[in-house]
Amino acid sequence: METDMNKEVSSYREDVVMGLNVRQLVWLILAAVVSVAVYFYANPRIGSRMTALACMIVSAPCILMGFYSNAGIYDI
């Protein structure tokens, strides 16, 4: 019976939910909250198509911050 172990300890990533670590999960939830807020604020004013575009533009930096790693290091 064998168990898989990382050969290098620094490459270990703890998964919390669906393969996401805590940092990624927090940024993803923040992106969803911001996107919903933008939707409810902008939809009556600029219409559905422009609101969808605005939601994508506003939530993209939040999602990218969650998945960004500098030289393989995740800073929380």
| Partners of 73 in the β-ladder | 70
Tens of pLDDT, residue by residue, the chain (76 residues): 677 766 666 555 676 777 788 888 899 999 999 999 999 999 989 989 999 999 999 999 988 888 887 766 655 5
Contact 51, 39 (CB under 8 A): yes
What are the contacts of 45-53 at 24+ separation with CB within 8 A?
A: none
pLDDT of residue 73: 61
pTM, to two decimals: 0.70
